[in-house]
Amino acid sequence: MKWRVLCQAALLLLVAGFGANQLDERLQALFSVDHITYRQLAGPQWDVKAAPCAQTAAILKQKFTYLGQGVQSYAFLSEDGRYVLKFIKHQRQSSPLWHRMCALVPRVAARAREFKERREGQLRETYRSWKLAYEELPDAAGLVYLHLNSTDGALGATKLVRRDGVGISVQLDRIPFLIQQRAEELRKVLRRLVAREQIPEACQLLDQLVDLLLSDYRRGVADRDQFLMRNTGLCGDRLIHMDVGAFVRNTGARDPAVYLQDLFCKGVRTGRWLATCHPALERHMEERVQREIGPSYAQLHYFERCQICHEPE
Ligand SMILES: Nc1ncnc2c1ncn2[C@@H]1O[C@H](COP(=O)(O)OP(=O)(O)O)[C@@H](O)[C@H]1O
Ligand SMILES: [Mg+2]
């Protein structure tokens, strides 16, 4: 009897949690301008060496329709289907309601301060990563334009269409955003190739993925992203980093002892997903990473998180 009540309560909580989550996702997808303008960073460290050119202006003349969102950003797709306009999700910065409701309670106030500092740190990390990607890996990330510090009216307004079809106008000069080539998530492309039994083509893409990572390391950059299958995408016939929010700069990443360890971990992690897709893909990835690493492969250890951090400035 007791167990039945407990099971029912657990089920109820699960359903309520799932419902709240769905509602939250729906509300977020509805999107308001506040979501991307709540808090910005400013300062010379965020100056980007890029002036809007004729190509940028032509792209921004188009209407952009809601495409998707992750933890850090919203993406909107251009009318011609070739470009993505990406904004930082600033509502992540606003503190939970209970922090504001209980602001007079010292423990809650301390929690709220910690929360604010943590979120500001995360926002700085996102700015840093976007800038690094734009300056060091524009091709590998398919980046066309990056805007961080406010500008003086050169960009004007662009029209966004929310998921519910409502159009809103956004003044771009005061908002951090980037323009990126549109890509298709690697996991979707791989699933499609497997469904068509095009295993050699799928293996070629995995080789491209390893080549992409190796070329980042050579430039002294590492991607701390844990979800390469969903955050890397196929753009035409080449793979690009779709998610540019987790890059770190570290010249140490050029050292084989450092990058091969990171490659090993990324190989193991992607291997888990590949095993669910097709065993030949998991085998191919493992063999390719083993070839890159050589005899020391068997001595390496797996870490859940990327061990390469920003080098101190
Ligand atoms: N270049 C792109 N082409 C197509 N879709 C994209 C692109 N960039 C992002 N998206 C879509 O937007 C979502 C969020 O973008 P992403 O850059 O991964 O941000 P986050 O850091 O929030 O995960 C992605 O999961 C994907 O659906
Ligand atoms: Mg992502």
Mutate to test the pocket of ligand 1, among 64, 65, 71, 73 (most ligand atoms within 8 A of CB): 73
Would you say residue 266 has pLDDT above 60? yes
Would you say residue 114 has pLDDT above 70? yes
Residue 141: how many other CB atoms lie within 10 Å: 27
> Nearest bound ligand to CA 233?
1
| 86 alpha carbon, distance to own chain's centre | 10
pLDDT at 105 (0 to 100) = 80
Tell me the residue type at 145. Y
Interval 217-258: pLDDT, tens? 999 999 999 899 999 999 999 999 999 999 999 999 999 999
Interval 51-61: pLDDT, tens? 778 889 999 99
Mutate to test the pocket of ligand 1, among 226, 243, 247 (most ligand atoms within 8 A of CB): 243
Half-sphere exposure of 73 (CA within 13 A, CB side): 25
Distance CA 210, CA 293 (A): 12
Tokens of 248: 């770190």
Residue with the two structure tokens 């929310």:
162
The residue whose CA is least distant from atom 20 of ligand 1 is 70
Determine if ligand 1 sits within 6 Å of the CB of residue 75.
yes
**Residue 244 Cα, ligand 2 centroid: separation in angstroms?**
8
**Residue 121 Cα, ligand 1 centroid: separation in angstroms?**
21
Average pLDDT over residues 22-28: 55
Residue 34: how many other CB atoms lie within 10 Å: 10
pLDDT at 30 (0 to 100) = 63
pLDDT band at 74; cut points 50, 70, 90: very high
> Which ligand 1 atom minimizes the distance to the CA of 126?
21
pLDDT at 230 (0 to 100) = 97
Distance CA 267, CA 285 (A): 7
pLDDT at 239 (0 to 100) = 98
Radius of gyration of the chain (CA): 22
Tokens of 24: 């939250």
Distance CA 148, CA 135 (A): 13
> Which ligand 1 atom minimizes the distance to the CA of 231?
18
Percent of the chain scoring above 90 in pLDDT: 68
Tell me the residue type at 263. L
> Nearest bound ligand to CA 84?
1
Average pLDDT over residues 190-204: 98
Distance CA 12, CA 303 (A): 36
> Which ligand 1 atom minimizes the distance to the CA of 142?
1
Determine if ligand 1 sits within 6 Å of the CB of residue 241.
no
Edge-to-edge order in the sheet of strand 167-171: 143-147, 177-181, 83-88, 73-78, 63-69, 157-161, 167-171
Mutate to test the pocket of ligand 1, among 72, 242, 247 (most ligand atoms within 8 A of CB): 242
**Residue 192 Cα, ligand 1 centroid: separation in angstroms?**
19
Q: Taking a C-beta distance cutoff of 8 angstroms, is the pair 256, 177 a contact?
A: no
Lowest mean pLDDT among 40-44, 250-254, 269-273: 40-44
Would you say residue 122 has pLDDT above 80? yes
Would you say residue 24 has pLDDT above 60? no
Average pLDDT over residues 147-165: 91
Lowest mean pLDDT among 51-55, 157-161, 166-170: 51-55
**Residue 29 Cα, ligand 1 centroid: separation in angstroms?**
14
Q: 3-state secondary structure string, the chain?
A: CHHHHHHHHHHHHHHHHHHHHHHHHHHHHHCCCHHHHCCCCCCHHHCCCCCCCHHHHHHHCCEEEEEEECCCEEEEEECCCCEEEEEECHHHHCCCHHHHHCCCCHHHHHHHHHHHHHHHHHHHHHHHHHHHHHHHCCCCCCEEEEECCCCCCCCCEEEEECCCCCEEEEEHHHCCEEEEECCEEHHHHHHHHHHCCCHHHHHHHHHHHHHHHHHHHHCCEEECCCCHHHHEEEECCEEEECCCCCEEECHHHHCHHHHHHHHHHHHHHHHHHHHHHCHHHHHHHHHHHHHHHHHHHHHCCCCCCCCCCCCCC
